[in-house]
Structure 1
Amino acid sequence: MTYPTVIVNGVSVRVDSKGRYNLNDLHAAAVLKGEATEAQRPSKFMRSSQIGRFVDSLTKAQKRASVKVIKGGLESGIWGLELVAIRYAAWLNPDFEIRVYETFREAVLSGLSNMNRLNRLDLLIATEAREVSACAKTMNKWGVGGRKALLNHARERIIEQMDPDMVSLMEGKAA
């Protein structure tokens, strides 16, 4: 599953393949607009026993790790599920929490809108494919060895049974 990347205060907040957002990116976005201090780093947030209990409960409820800490490398930082990210934003600043919540909600709604459009398009494609398939079956029945050949063969038998003078009159009219 692909999770939506969100942009908060002009900062792109990375998301991993498990749907966890980079809290360090959120911190950078909050600091950029003066909604957090340098001291309010995600590591300090994670040291709270209340947050620890919240993360444990969320992990049990979601049946997957709700937080992942990566030390060093390009993906370093603290990664948390959406609820952890919103909880972190609330810990930083109420105004920032609202902005983050609305941004996440908009990303989800946009994703649902795109999914709805995709479902409608898939339905249209399937409907038209059935119609084309039905037309192809009809054309196949008509074509070589099909109904056209049967009708032409019946025509030839009728002509064979007709008086030869009558056939030459019909051919003369056709010409």
Structure 2
Amino acid sequence: MNSLAQTYINSTTQPLVIGDLFIRQDEDGRYCLNDLHKASGDTRKDRPSYFLENEKTQELIKTIDDENYDVGNPSSFKRAVNIIRGRGKEQGTYAVKELVYSYAMWISAKFHLTVIRAYDAMVMQWQINDRKSISPEQQSLLHEIVDRRSNGERKIYAEMWSRHNRHFKIAKYSQLLSVHFSEAVHYLETMDIKSSKKLDIQTDLTVFERLSTEVVNQVTDYIWSLNREIRRLKGVAPALPSFDEKTMAQAVINQQMQGKRMFLTFNPVSSAPEISLVEDDLLMVRRNEIENLLNDPDKVPQDRIPNIIQSAAKRLK
């Protein structure tokens, strides 16, 4: 992730403070150079306008803008410098972090060091805030989701919390970090679950839909784990494609199961459907068709006939 993108993501979560002065930010997370000018001593020769007129500064601005311009998505482009005029307290010259550092160094080495330390302190506070657990209100919202989706079924209720805690690698839901709250809401809302109540054979739920449940769960877990790891490594997670995960899992299963034979049974305790694949060399035949089967060379190889005759002879003794 480049520094400009990092600035936008972290904007306004923790203020940059130099001395007793809070450095303002615009809506895209750029920092106010006018505030930095005041923090440095407010001398005339160090005004932001003089800094921006500098040839080296112009080269740096152009380099930053060129690196962050996305030809495929020009509407997302955010310039390195944003000048706001005539809007009361918001007016001023705002710049990205690279220009903040450059401006501080242009003023003096001492002020440059001050800004670096202030920014490091701000980043440290972000990290501390990210380690805070969710609030009681957020816990209540997660509870509401699980209660609603489990619909009074204790087995599903326990399964949802178990999978949630395992997904976020925590012992109990109250240990969830606040930075992961939005992800947890989405995870619980989209978790694929199946009822433990007795299955109605006449239901529209197909065998493949039942079979796909675990696949959907694994795919969903993998996608969120992958995105979380990318963010942990300070990378940019690509936008998730707009596909229906359940449909995707069914498509994969259908593709893999074409031409396969399956045996469907129902668990005598839970009434849940259980599907097992029939091996290619396994024969299933009605009792009154055994003789016809023996006459079919494609079903019974020639070298098996002597063994069959011996077994039949023993049976007749």
Please, which of 17, 28, 32 is the counterpart of residue 18 of structure 1?
28
Q: Decide which of 42, 48, 67 is 1:42's aligned counterpart.
A: 48
How many residues are treated as equivalent by the alignment? 132
In the other structure, the counterpart of 2:83 is 69
The superposition leaves residues 61-88 of structure 1 with CA deviations (integer Å, 9 ceiling, x where unpaired) of: 2332010122333222211011111110
Query: Shift in Å at residue 125 of structure 1?
Result: 4.5
Higher Rg of the two aligned structures: 1
Q: Looking at secondary structure, tell me which structure has more helix per residue.
A: 1
Q: Distance in 1 between matches of 2:33 and 2:60?
A: 16
Structure 1 unaligned regions, length at least 5 = 140-175
Matches within 5 A, 1:1-175: 2-3=11-12, 4-31=14-41, 37-63=43-69, 64-74=78-88, 75-118=90-133, 121=134, 125=139, 129=143, 137-138=153-154
Q: 1:152 aligns to what?
A: none
Identity rate, percent: 22
Q: Which stretch has the larger CA shift, 75-84 or 39-48?
A: 75-84
TM-score of the aligned structures, taking structure 2 as reference length: 0.37
Q: Which amino acid aligns with 1:138?
A: R
Q: Which has the higher contact order (CA 8 A, sep 6+)?
A: 1
- SS in structure 1 opposite 2:66? helix
Q: Tell whether the 8 Å contact from 1:19 to 1:82 is kept in structure 2 after alignment.
A: no
User: Kindly tell me: are residues 62 and 108 of structure 1, through their superposed partners in 2, closer, same or farther at Cα, counting changes over 3 Å?
Assistant: farther
Q: 1:173 maps to which residue?
A: none
Instruction: Give distance in 1, aligned partners of 2:131 and 2:66.
Output: 31
Q: 1:138 to 1:113 in 2, by over 3 A?
A: same
Residues 25 and 49 (structure 1), Cα distance of their counterparts in 2 relative to 1, 3 Å cut: same
Q: C-alpha displacement at 1:10, in angstroms?
A: 0.9
Q: Distance in 2 between matches of 1:91 and 1:138?
A: 65
- CA root-mean-square deviation: 3.2
SS of aligned partner of 1:117: coil
